[in-house]
Structure formats: C-alpha cells, structure tokens
C-alpha cells in the first residue's frame, strides 16, 4: 500500500438477500485529502460507510486503515483507532444538552467512563474544551439547550462538533449538509474545510457546489459499483457520470 | 445563558433532597406510627431490589424478566452461609451478593447482545433454570426452603435477633444501596449509560463498546438485587422458592410500573404500594392477584409514568 494512503478497500461487496448493494468496490483515500463519494440515491454510499465502520459485515472484500486490516474489527475499536463516522440521519443524544453531547465524546478518551462511584461533576473539567468545540460550529448560545430542541441544521452542526471532539484522524461524513438552509451549508462547508486541514475526510455529499469546492478527489458510485473517479473536472466531464448522475436533475 | 444549567440542576437536586429526607424520616418513624417493623424491613429490601432493577430498565433500557434469580440465589447462599457455615451476618450478605453478581456476569454475558424481547426471554429462561435448580438441589431444602436461619451477631457484636438492631441494619443497607444507585445514575458511567439509551449506534460510533457498559450495569444491578435478597433472607430467617419464582420477577416489574420507571424514588414508592396491598389485602385471598392485575393495567393505561413519574411531571422536576 502506498505510504500516503490512509484507507483502502479491496473488492468490497455487500449483498442483502441476493441484492447487491455494494459491488467489488476498491477505493483508496489519500491521507490528508477531502474525498467525496457521490452517486444517485440507492447507489450504496451509506452502505459503504456502514461497511467501513463495521456497522455491517461485508459479504466479501477487505478494508485497510493506516496499513492495518480492520475488516473484522469491532465498530467501537475502529472508532478508537481514529476512524469516526457520522450518520445520514442526524445522530445526537436527544435528551442531553449540547454541552453534554460533546462531553460524551470527550469523556471516552479522558477517562472515568466506567466510574460509577464518582460524581458526574468530575466531567465539568471537560467543559472548557467542549465549549471551544461548540463555539467552532456556531452553537455557543445553545450550549444548555437540549439537543432535541435544536433546529435541523444545528443538530448536524452539533453532530460534527461531537465527532470533532474525538479529534479523529479520519472522518466519514454522510451528507453533512442535507436539508440545511443556504447559510448553514456555507457554515458547514467552511467548517469541514477548516477541520480537514489536519485530517482526512471522506464524505457523501449531494450538493455539487460543496463537492466541487471542497473535494480533492471524487468517486462516483452507481448501483453499488464505482463508475468513475478523479478530480471534479475529470469526473464532471465524464459522459457516463453526466448521464447517470448529473443528468438526473442534479446538474 | 451558561448560568442556566447549574441553577436548573440545583433546583432538581433540591427537590430530590427533600424527597430523600421524607423517605428517611418515613422509615425512621414508620414503626412509631404503628407499622410493623418486619413489614417495613421487607419494604426496604424490596425497594432496594426494585431500585436495582430500575437501574437497568429505567437507565439503560434493558428489560430483564428474570431478576428473581438474583434476589433468590443471594437469599439461598446467604441463608446457607449463615446457617451451615456459621458466617456472621455481614459476611453471609456479602457471600449472597457475590453469588448474585457472579450469576449476573454469566447471565449478562449470555443475554446482553440480544435486544428487546429476546433479552427478556433469555433472562426469563435462565431464571427458570435457577428455579428448578433451587427446587431440586440437596442444600436448598426443596419445597421447605432453608428455615430457621440464624440472624447472628453483626460484626460479632450486635445481636440481630433484637428487632431494632435488625431494623437499623436493614435501614443502613437500604440507604447505602439506594445512594449507590443514585450515584451510579449521576456518575460519568451513568452519563455513558444515558447516551447508550438515547442513541446506541451513535455511542458506538464514538468508540464506546456499548455491550461492556451494559454488562457492567447488569452486574451492578444483579449484585444489588443480591444484597436485597440476602438481607431479606436474614430478616425472615428464611430462603424459600417464592423468591426465585418467575412471579417474583413480575412483581419487581409491577413495583417499578406503579412507582415510575426511570425515576429515583419510584421503585421505593412502588415497592411500598405493592407490598402494602399484599399485606393488607391478604384476607382477600386470591383476589390480591386480581387487584394487582387491575392496578397493573390501570398504571399502563392511565398513569404511564407511575406515581413518582406523574408527581415529578406535576412539579416539573425529575424525582
Ligand atoms: N439493511 C439493509 N437491508 C436491505 N437492503 C438495504 C439495507 N441497507 C441498504 N439497503 C439497500 O441498499 C441500497 C443502497 O442503499 P444506501 O447505501 O443507503 O444508498 P445511498 O446511501 O447511496 O443512497 C438501497 O437499494 C437500499 O435499499
Ligand atoms: Mg445514503
């Protein structure tokens, strides 16, 4: 494996009862890059994320992260190695406050997580760092709001802050800007660009202006298979892509 | 804005402190109000049992339908240790609780990966195995149970055959167990449990091995149920089959439903209400079961949050 590859899949395949959702996907993500995974609905993008983080077990194929095979590793072990995913459907802890949501992530590394005899007040030592992360995604005034009460775009921002709290080497973002207002999209894409400065990002994204401005490399998926790969200019001029994806009302 | 959280929290804690004070006072002066000390001791043992059960259902979202196995096993081990091995009461209780904790570890390892109804079914199946074991094993006394268990002397000095010495001991054990559960819920560990209950896939994706946390909560709950069962065996000087029967597993569910799942004080109130019903309606014979069933249905239909849950909603503070 080339030195600058952080994540690689070989022949990754997932079948659901005879239906092939991901088919023979061999993908390389370069360390430090922003890599976009695009394709029409049902192409298998989310399934890919589920395979990479072992929320689903591949039918065939292998996954390597930082040169180490992680195909059989548990989801929590993969996260602990620094490969952290977000979810297409916003994933927050709905009845915890914004501050508590972020602290849950900080708490895992900073310890005490099995301490049932200690007061939760020890967690306040994480507040300062949590506030910094909350501030970074523009939620400073909502730190005591219960997550369920946040508007959709803000929930996604909270999700990103929580993911960032783990300081992951590589983030998998599944449609981070879906359903957001224009202003929120701007804020999130700026944020992604900023946090990607010292980490790798693999993201599923439908907003093509976000894809074109952010990504170094794009992989187009269709019916579970890789259709095309390259930078935005190459991919967007590929006639098969234009037909399969851009042509379908997205251009 | 940042000042809001602390004040909200301290108001909550304030309300809980008051209720805690009322609860302690109730058990302190209850006998003076004419309630039988043995009845109140039973209430405290079952309140601890119900609170330990609630730690799982209310704060992790795991419905165990076999919790009687922990209560009962600890009772048998404690009774055997005190009667046959001549353990002092505190050591007999520790032995009972340890046995329950070990059983909890085994049951947890088998059940924890299953979800929802499958989890409940596995715990029920294991509890049935324990029931038949207790029915058949040579040292459990079969239908008779282990009778005439000596209460002994606490730490070799305090004679527990004196009812007030026993009462004080049970009160301290109950309060210690109750406070430990309260602390667990409000600990860094409890915070992770809350996150798992709210969104388990997300907790996993943040790197938490959620099964380990659930297992730990399960073992804690089993151990504390064991403390309750062992203490109860000393109070009644008896370990009997009804403590491992499936209806006991059902009763602890009922106590929690009546008192309020996921509340701090609900299990205590639920245990009191259910046991008082059994006690004072005993003359009704088999009607007790029917009245209990009716209350069960009423709780599920009318006050889903249970007595304490509804009260907490009324004053807008979690109790
Ligand atoms: N757990 C599952 N069981 C059966 N089919 C599934 C499952 N998850 C996804 N699929 C199917 O796999 C295909 C790819 O889905 P998905 O990966 O969510 O697509 P995308 O994220 O690209 O829109 C879809 O046809 C979907 O219905
Ligand atoms: Mg998807």
Question: What domains can you pick out in chain B, each with its CATH number?
Answer: 15-315 (1.10.3470)
If asked whether residues A76 and A103 sit together in one domain, one would say no
Cβ <8 Å between B194 and A93: yes
Cα distances from B52 to residues B40, B48, B237, in angstroms, run 18, 6, 22
- Residues of chain A contacting residue B188, judged by C-beta atoms under 8 Å apart: 107, 112-113, 115, 118, 120, 122-123
Other beta carbons within 10 Å of B190:
23
Tokens read off for A158: 């909270």
If asked whether residues A66 and A105 sit together in one domain, one would say no
Task: Confirm or reject contact between A26 and chain B (CB < 8 A).
Answer: no
Instruction: Please report whether residue A43 resides in a domain.
Output: yes
Among B189, B172, B1, residue whose Cα is nearest residue B90: B172
Instruction: Please report whether residue A191 resides in a domain.
Output: no
Low-confidence ranges of chain B (pLDDT < 70): 1-11
If asked whether residues A98 and A68 sit together in one domain, one would say no
Q: What is the pLDDT of residue B6?
A: 44
Q: Which of A143, A167, A191 is the last residue of a domain?
A: A167
Cβ <8 Å between A79 and B205: yes
Instruction: Please report whether residue A192 resides in a domain.
Output: no
Lowest mean pLDDT among A12-21, A109-118, A126-135, B94-103: A109-118
If asked whether residues A69 and A91 sit together in one domain, one would say no
The domain that holds A146 is classified in CATH as: 3.40.50.300
Would you call A137 helix, strand, or coil by DSSP?
coil
pLDDT digits (tens, 9 = 90+) for A83-102: 999 888 778 999 999 999 99
Cβ <8 Å between B5 and A144: yes
If asked whether residues A123 and A163 sit together in one domain, one would say yes
Count of CB pairs separated by less than 8 Å, A with B: 112
Q: What is the pLDDT of residue A102?
A: 96
Question: What mean pLDDT is predicted for residues A238-248?
Answer: 72
- Whole-angstrom Cα distance, residue A236 to residue B206? 35
Distance from CA of A181 to the nearest CA of B (A): 24
- Residues of chain B contacting residue A96, judged by C-beta atoms under 8 Å apart: 194-195, 198
If asked whether residues A77 and A90 sit together in one domain, one would say no
If asked whether residues A91 and A69 sit together in one domain, one would say no
Residue A121 confidence class, pLDDT cut points 50, 70, 90:
confident
Q: Which of A167, A185, A214 is the last residue of a domain?
A: A167
Q: How many domains does chain A have?
A: 2
Instruction: Please report whether residue A98 resides in a domain.
Output: yes
If asked whether residues A76 and A19 sit together in one domain, one would say yes
Residue A7 confidence class, pLDDT cut points 50, 70, 90:
very high
pTM of the model: 0.88
Instruction: Please report whether residue A177 resides in a domain.
Output: no
| CA-angle at A32, arms to A26 and A33, nearest 5° | 60
Q: Which of A107, A142, A167 is the last residue of a domain?
A: A167
- Residues of chain B contacting residue A143, judged by C-beta atoms under 8 Å apart: 1-2, 5
If asked whether residues A209 and A158 sit together in one domain, one would say no
Q: Is the CB of A46 under 6 A from ligand 1?
A: yes
- Residues of chain B contacting residue A105, judged by C-beta atoms under 8 Å apart: 206
Question: What mean pLDDT is predicted for residues A199-212?
Answer: 91
pLDDT digits (tens, 9 = 90+) for B60-89: 989 999 999 999 999 999 999 999 999 999
Query: Taking a contact as any Cβ pair under 8 Å apart, which residues of chain B between 188 and 247 contact chain A?
Result: 188-192, 194-195, 198-199, 201-210, 213, 216, 220
If asked whether residues A126 and A146 sit together in one domain, one would say yes
- Whole-angstrom Cα distance, residue A91 to residue A32? 25
Query: Taking a contact as any Cβ pair under 8 Å apart, which residues of chain B between 8 and 37 contact chain A?
Result: 8
Angle between helices B188-198 and B210-236 (to 10 degrees): 110
Tokens read off for A70: 């992680």
Q: What is the pLDDT of residue B237?
A: 94
Among B84, B65, B54, B212, residue whose Cα is nearest residue B130: B65
CB B216 within 8 A of CB B263: no
If asked whether residues A91 and A29 sit together in one domain, one would say no
> A202: alpha, beta or left, given left = phi > 0 and alpha = psi -120 to 50?
beta
If asked whether residues A90 and A111 sit together in one domain, one would say yes
Instruction: Please report whether residue A220 resides in a domain.
Output: yes
Q: What order of strands is seen across the sheet that includes strand A5-16?
A: A19-30, A5-16, A60-65, A68-69
Question: What mean pLDDT is predicted for residues A144-153?
Answer: 91
In whole numbers, what is the pLDDT of chain A averaged over residues?
90
Instruction: Please report whether residue A178 resides in a domain.
Output: no
pLDDT digits (tens, 9 = 90+) for A32-90: 999 999 998 899 999 999 999 999 999 999 999 999 999 999 999 999 999 999 888 77
Query: Which range of residues forms the domain containing residue A137?
Result: 86-167
Instruction: Please report whether residue A51 resides in a domain.
Output: yes
């Amino acid at each position: 494996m080339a030195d600058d590859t952080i994540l690689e899949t070989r022949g990754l395949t997932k079948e659901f009862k005879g239906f092939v959702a991901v088919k023979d996907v061999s993908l390389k993500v370069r360390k430090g890059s922003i890599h976009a995974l695009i394709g029409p609905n049902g192409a298998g993008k989310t399934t890919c994320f589920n395979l990479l983080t072992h929320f689903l077990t591949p039918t065939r194929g292998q996954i390597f992260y930082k040169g180490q095979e992680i195909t059989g590793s548990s989801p929590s072990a993969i996260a602990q190695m620094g490969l952290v995913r977000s979810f297409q459907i916003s994933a927050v802890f709905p009845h915890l406050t914004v501050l508590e949501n972020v602290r849950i992530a900080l708490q895992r590394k900073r310890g005490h997580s099995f301490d049932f005899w200690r007061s939760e007040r020890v967690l306040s030592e994480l507040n300062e760092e949590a506030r910094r992360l909350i501030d970074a995604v523009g939620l400073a005034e909502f730190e005591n709001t219960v997550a369920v009460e946040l508007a959709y775009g803000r929930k996604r921002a909270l999700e990103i802050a929580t993911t960032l709290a783990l300081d992951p080497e590589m983030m998998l973002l599944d449609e981070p800007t879906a359903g957001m207002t224009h202003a929120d999209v701007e804020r999130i894409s700026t944020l992604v660009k900023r946090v990607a400065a010292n980490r790798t990002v693999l993201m599923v994204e439908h907003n093509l202006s976000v894809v074109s401005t952010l990504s170094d490399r794009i992989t187009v998926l269709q019916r579970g298979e890789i259709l095309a790969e390259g930078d935005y200019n190459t991919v967007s001029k590929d006639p098969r892509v234009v037909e399969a994806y851009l042509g379908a009302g997205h251009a | 804005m940042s000042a809001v959280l602390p004040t909200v929290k301290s108001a909550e804690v304030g309300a809980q402190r008051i209720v805690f004070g009322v609860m302690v006072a109730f058990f302190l002066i209850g006998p003076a109000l004419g309630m039988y000390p043995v009845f109140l001791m039973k209430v405290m043992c079952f309140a601890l049992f119900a609170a330990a059960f609630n730690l799982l259902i209310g704060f992790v979202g795991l419905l165990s339908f076999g919790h009687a196995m922990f209560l009962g096993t600890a009772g048998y081990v404690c009774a055997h240790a005190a009667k046959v091995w001549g353990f002092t009461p505190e050591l007999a209780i520790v032995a009972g609780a340890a046995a329950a904790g070990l059983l909890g570890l085994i049951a947890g390892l088998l059940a924890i990966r299953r979800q929802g109804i499958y989890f409940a079914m596995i715990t029920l199946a294991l509890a049935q195995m324990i029931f038949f074991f207790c029915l058949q094993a040579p040292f459990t006394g079969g239908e008779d149970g282990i009778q005439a268990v000596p209460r002994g002397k606490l730490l070799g000095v305090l004679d527990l055959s004196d009812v007030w010495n026993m009462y004080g001991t049970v009160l301290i054990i109950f309060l210690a167990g109750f406070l430990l559960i309260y602390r667990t819920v409000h600990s860094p560990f409890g915070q992770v449990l809350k996150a798992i209950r709210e969104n388990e896939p997300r907790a996993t994706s943040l790197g938490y091995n959620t099964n380990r946390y659930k297992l730990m909560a399960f073992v804690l709950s089993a151990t504390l149920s064991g403390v309750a069962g062992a203490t109860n065996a000393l109070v009644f000087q008896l370990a009997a089959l009804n403590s491992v029967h499936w209806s006991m597993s059902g009763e602890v569910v009922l106590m929690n439903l009546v008192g309020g799942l996921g509340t701090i004080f609900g299990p205590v109130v639920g245990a009191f209400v259910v046991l008082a019903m059994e006690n004072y309606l005993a003359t009704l014979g088999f009607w007790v079961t029917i009245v209990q069933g009716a209350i069960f249905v009423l709780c599920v239909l009318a006050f889903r949050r249970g007595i304490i849950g509804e009260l907490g909603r009324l004053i807008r503070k979690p109790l």
